[in-house]
Amino acid sequence: MPDLLGLTARELLAAIAEKRVSAVEVMKATYQRLALVNPRLNAVVSLLPEAEALALARAADEKLAAGEKPGALHGLPFAVKDLEETAGIRTTYGSPLYAENIPEADSPMVARLRQAGALIIGKTNVPEFGFGSQTYNPLFGATRNAYKPEMTAGGSSGGAAVALAARMLALADGSDHGGSLRNPAAFNNVFGLRPSPGLIPDPSPDAFSLSLATLGPMARNVPDLALLLSVQAGADPAIPVTWPEKPCAYHELLQADLTGARIGWLGDLGGALPMEPGILALCEAGLQALQPRGLVVEAASLGFDAERIWESWAGLRAWSIAHRFNDVIRDPYRRDLLKSEAQWEVEQGLRLSGLDVARHIETRTLWMQQALHLFARYDYLALPSAQLFPFPVETHWPRAINGVAMDSYHRWMQVVTPVTLAGLPALNVPVGFNAQGLPMGMQLIGRPRDELGVLRLGQAYDEATGWSAHAPG
């Protein structure tokens, strides 16, 4: 049997569709790989018994044998982030409150994966309710970095990123509020796209609002990521803010002449953000690799107070979390089942007044308007994806960066908040490794709803740098 799991997702799907390999063979290879590396890395959880997974694969092969046209993901084993509901498969959110929760229906995004032919075999590990960019929880424990298992995988899509990097999965889904797609992708040398809000349907208690959180695709290369996005994206009549009615086939449109395109390098936001030594240099080297292709890179200024962006993002996040968990926090038994950071976040949100929330919303609007002014000068912006390299897996969150104290469990990811608050699409791309072999990434940021432009830049970047070819040893 060839090294099936060394193939790209598109190569694997083509081999299945053309009957050069069966879905059963791919599933057997997947379970062999999981048995070999998952016990050490702990990326995939709530895994189906192999016999059940093989039954799914046989059914996929039978459909092809009967002449049925394959979907875009036909026969591909897939584990869904454990924040998304999966019919018949345990969905825990990494919390003891949902330890035995088995949904009756799929979330809209998972339903699209199944309709495209993906074979859902389990979940990818997350921090409790996705809180924090470090993947550990009391149900499944910590997920370890694919390159340095003694270090964190990042989060909250840590299980997804590690499963990709370690060749357990060819594609993975993620979600992002405070860097939950971008950070673990950076920490594991893979790609993760935070799209514009509304591109991928994501149910919310307020169907009419554009949430700070988004769903998104992850992969080891840009064409695979773009293929998954083509499946995930598109309007849902039950969620009025979703768009477009007919999403494009992103993976078929990646090649473009970017000569003359301008990239504004935001660095450490003019010294506003502490950075571990080596991060800025890796990102700048990655940007320099684009210049022979005719792109123009120059230093840029945010033109807005970074602390105001942080305060608005943190306030709106706490407000939404307080609304979601207000009943839990008032119940002494259930409250004790929430990790301390979650309890703290709820308490922060409960202290906010309506005027506080209105002020944070106004700041969000003003920053979005300033971001549009930046895009009048630049076609893209760039920022590091994290402010420090992967840290020891036993550390719940870093208390300081380069000597600067962090005042909350998420302050160390402040670098991702300008993208989130303005609703901009951003793609994490790998920028290489430090002297200790720890990965890092960079955010390539586009205009609102210009996912295709960001993916095209990401493809050009990967062709110029080749970091995606560096697999774990």
Q: Are 421 and 310 in contact (CB under 8 A)?
A: no
Distance separating alpha carbons of residues 145 and 123, to the nearest angstrom: 17
Which two three-digit tokens encode residue 54?
């093989």
Distance separating alpha carbons of residues 264 and 158, to the nearest angstrom: 29
Q: Are 412 and 394 in contact (CB under 8 A)?
A: no
Distance separating alpha carbons of residues 464 and 87, to the nearest angstrom: 42
Residue 80: DSSP 8-state:
E
Burial of 420 (0-12, 13-18, 19+ CB in 10 A): buried
Q: Taking Cα atoms as reference points, which of 425, 206, 467 lies closest to residue 316?
A: 206
Residue indicated by tokens 């960001």: 454
Residue 467: DSSP 8-state:
G
Q: Counting runs of H as helices and runs of E as strands, what totals does the chain give?
A: 14, 15
Q: Report how far apart, in Å, the C-alpha atoms of 356 and of each of 81, 158, 315 are.
A: 33, 33, 8
The catalytic site residues sit at: 81, 156, 180
Q: How far is CA 94 from the centre of its chain?
A: 17
In sequence order, what are the residues at sequence separation of 6 or more whose Cβ sits closer than 8 angstroms to the Cβ of residue 212?
A: 177, 197, 313, 316, 317, 320, 420, 421
Distance separating alpha carbons of residues 384 and 268, to the nearest angstrom: 8
- CA-angle at 52, arms to 70 and 472, nearest 5°: 75
